[in-house]
Amino acid sequence: MVQLMIIRHGETVENANNICQGQQHGCLSELGIRQARQLGVQLKEEPLDLVYSSDLQRTIDTANEILKFHPEMKLITDPLLRERSLTSWEGKAFPKNWSWDYLPEGAETNEDMLERAEQFIDKMLRLHDGQRVAAITHGGLIRAFWTVLANKPASEYFSWEVTKNTSVSRVELYADGRHRVVELNNVDHLDAETPGTMQHFS
């Protein structure tokens, strides 16, 4: 069994300005930095064996606030944890009146996202049985994780609540596939002045 914490990165400047990031790096906003620091303090006594992150800068910067309290660990970056590729939208404002039924040509599909989530879960079970792992990732992939963990089809991908910035979710992964969600989208570490934002993609 693997105890996995799934964490969304802090708010970015792009989040605050409705800019599509996708697989661009993004930059934590002042609020996002505060959120990440509060997350780090919350997890300072957390027993961890490994910390994984997407290889995009906004997750790396968030992960480093956790690692300040776990200096014996080195961050492991993994492109499986990246946000959805949104091709021609990236770096631009989201189109007006856009919907989930329309994404730019070449963007990753829901099926693509579920496949990446499944690959990461399989990797955790293969490499880290009996360990406690934190994975800092993005809102789009977190939805894919929930879809996979609930054994639902890709058509259910958008049925999940959007995750808040620096939210912490905990799951237990089992080799037989009977995974268990322990905690979902917890932002108790944020004070009233640093709420988690609710963008669709980050």
- Domain locations along the chain: 2-186
Question: Which residue among 9, 70, 138, 189 is the active-site one?
Answer: 9
CA–CA dist 87, 9 (Å, integer): 21
Percent of the chain with pLDDT over 70: 95
- Residue 191 — pLDDT band, cuts 50, 70, 90? confident
Kindly state the DSSP code that residue 100 receives in the 8-state scheme: T
- Checking if the pLDDT of 198 tops 50, the result is no
Predicted pLDDT at 200: 41
140-158: average pLDDT? 96
The answer to whether 9 is a known catalytic residue is yes
User: Does CATH place domain 2-186 in 3.40.50.150?
Assistant: no
Selection from 33, 7, 8, 5 nearest residue 21 by Cα:
8
- Residue 192 — pLDDT band, cuts 50, 70, 90? low
The answer to whether 70 is a known catalytic residue is no
Q: Tell me how crowded residue 43 is: count the other CB atoms within 10 A of its CB.
A: 21
Inter-residue contact 122 to 179 (CB < 8 Å)? no
Inter-residue contact 61 to 26 (CB < 8 Å)? no
Predicted pLDDT at 74: 95
Residue 145 in tokens? 């994780």
- Checking if the pLDDT of 197 tops 70, the result is no
Residue 196 in tokens? 């988690």
Question: Which residue among 83, 90, 108, 189 is the active-site one?
Answer: 83
Predicted pLDDT at 193: 52
Per-residue pLDDT tens for 76-115?
999 999 999 999 999 999 988 877 778 899 999 999 999 9
157-175: average pLDDT? 95
The total number of residues shown for the chain amounts to: 202
